[in-house]
Structure 1
Amino acid sequence: MLFGRRENALPTPEEALKGRPEPEFPLAGRHTVLGTPLAAPYPEGLSVADFGLGCFWGAERKFWQAPGVWTTLVGYQGGHTPHPTYDEVCSGLTGHTEAVRVVFDPARTSYEALLKLFWESHDPTQGFRQGNDRGTQYRSAIHTHSPAQHTAAEFSRDAYQSVLHASGYGPITTEILPAGPFYYAEADHQQYLDKNPAGYCGIGGTGVSCPIGVAKADG
């Protein structure tokens, strides 16, 4: 590892690595499972949702398997360093979380259905870790693309908090923020578990069902 690892606190903008003005690698090609392009622009009528729920290898698979999802890609979001690399993000010195971008068809699925999948696919009470994966890059996050998405995310969080509390879990630590820059990850991380079926997946939920339909959003 090229950098001292920081697991327990986010860096300030002044502490963060400087990054670079342009990405070091292209985003090209098609989704290895869905066959759709990874890079924007996307067809008219589709919507975008961004989620962080631990290691993005397993998280991406959860979403590409969902009905109504047009494409998925993984990247880095919510930090300070422009165009970071995987090693830089893993150092804890960029401020990013590992994220999945989900491009979906609102005529075939809903943002609420994606929120339900998000909450049920990980433990959102763990702070800067997910299972055995520890570090700020594994924190739970929802990055919203519209006021309607933001409202739906907050309502779903509050509804899920109620059932989690009743099941003995603590407070949800999930960030809900307007989406900032999404920096796509290196090609070998895209659809990683399709390319490496026996690869590591640390994603696991609480077993507690999330109420659905707690708020309406068009995407």
Structure 2
Amino acid sequence: MIGIDAWKQRMPRRDEALPGRERTVLPTQAHHVLGRSLLAADHPGMARIWFGMGCFWGAERKFWSLPGVRSTAAGYAGGYTSNPAYREVCSGMTGHAEVVQVIHDPAQIGLDELLRVFWESHDPTQGMRQGNDIGTQYRSAIYAADVTQLAAAEASARRYQTALDQAGLGAITTEIALAGPFYYAEDEHQQYLSKHPDGYCGLGGTGVSCPVGPVPRI
């Protein structure tokens, strides 16, 4: 987008990013819906993946009700600043996307189903925005825990692009990469729409269904 908000859609360079801090912020409360810990270490044997779909309030709600999802958490990933705060992420000077950590039992819900929900629940063609939410923190992103997840995400993007092409829609701009550090958002942002049912949710999909395929073998 060219105009008054164009600066919000430019990723900062590493040397421009805010410095952050050494102190790690961890959630102090159990999941408001599921009643379980938000910490991955408290779910041994489970898999996890991180999705950016715009504002993480609505994105998190898309996943916590799925059978087989053990826990979800809002947070920040894909940037440079260590242990960023919400206002710093919103400044556009940390490089992070607002993301949801999804911890799931692979025996109960497969990665292909999580990817289907991801693609169908937002518009992955909008670049550094999602609807009226404009800025690098609102970009579409998948951060994979390992190369198997990464290959599955890339394959699903190719399938969904074919479906979008058939519908006459644009090119996917989703960032797909191996995960770097994930930082938990502050307690007030965790399961926000469960705590505030009338709160803001800017998610909106394309209306195009995502073909489901097998997870590639590595």
Gaps of at least 5 residues in structure 2 are 1-5
Segments of structure 1 that go 5 or more residues without pairing to the other structure are none
TM-score between the two structures when normalised by the length of structure 1:
0.94
Partner-residue secondary structure (3-state), 1:7: helix
Aligned mates of 1:62, 1:165 — CA distance in 2: 25
**Cα distance in 1 between the residues matched to 2:217 and 2:209:** 20
Amino acid at match of 1:18: P
In the alignment, the residues of structure 1 paired with residue 103 and residue 128 of structure 2 have an alpha-carbon distance, to the nearest angstrom, of 26
Report what 2:3 is aligned to: none
Q: Judging changes above 3 Å, is the alpha-carbon distance between structure 1 residues 217 and 75 closer, same or farther for their aligned structure 2 residues? A: farther
Q: What is the deviation of 1:217?
A: 6.6
Is 1:167 matched up with 2:167?
yes
Secondary structure of the residue that 2:119 maps to in structure 1? helix
Q: Secondary structure at the match of 1:154?
A: helix
Native 8 Å contact 2:9 2:129 kept in 1:
no
Residue by residue, what CA displacement relative to the aligned partner does 1:54-87 show, whole Å, maximum 9, x if unpaired?
Answer: 0000000000011110000010000000000000
Any idea what SS the aligned residue of 1:158 has?
helix
Match status 1:29 vs 2:65:
no
Deviations 1:110-160 (A, max 9, x none): 011100000000000000000110000000000001111011000000000
In structure 2, the CA distance between the partners of 1:177 and 1:73, relative to structure 1 (3 Å rule), is: same
2:85–2:185: 8 Å Cα contact kept in structure 1? yes
Q: In structure 1, what is the Cα distance between the partners aligned to 2:184 and 2:7? A: 22
Deviation by residue 1:30-71 (Cα, 9 ceiling, x = unmatched): 101011111231332210011001000000000001111000
Structure 2 matches for 1:22-171, cutoff 5 A? Answer: 22-23=23-24, 25-171=25-171
**% identical aligned pairs:** 56
Q: How many residues align?
A: 213
CA contact (8 A) 2:46 2:104 kept: yes
Secondary structure of the structure 1 residue equivalent to 2:157: helix
For 2:38, what is the secondary structure of its paired residue?
coil
How much is the aligned-residue C-alpha RMSD, in angstroms?
1.4
Who is 2:19 aligned against?
18
SS at match of 2:9: coil
* Aligned counterparts of 2:26 and 2:96: Cα–Cα separation in 1: 19
Q: Out of 66-75 and 38-47, give the one that drifted further.
A: 38-47
User: What SS does the corresponding residue of 1:58 show, helix, strand or coil?
Assistant: helix
What amino acid is aligned across from residue 11 of structure 1 in structure 2?
Answer: P
Query: Which has the larger helix fraction?
Result: 2
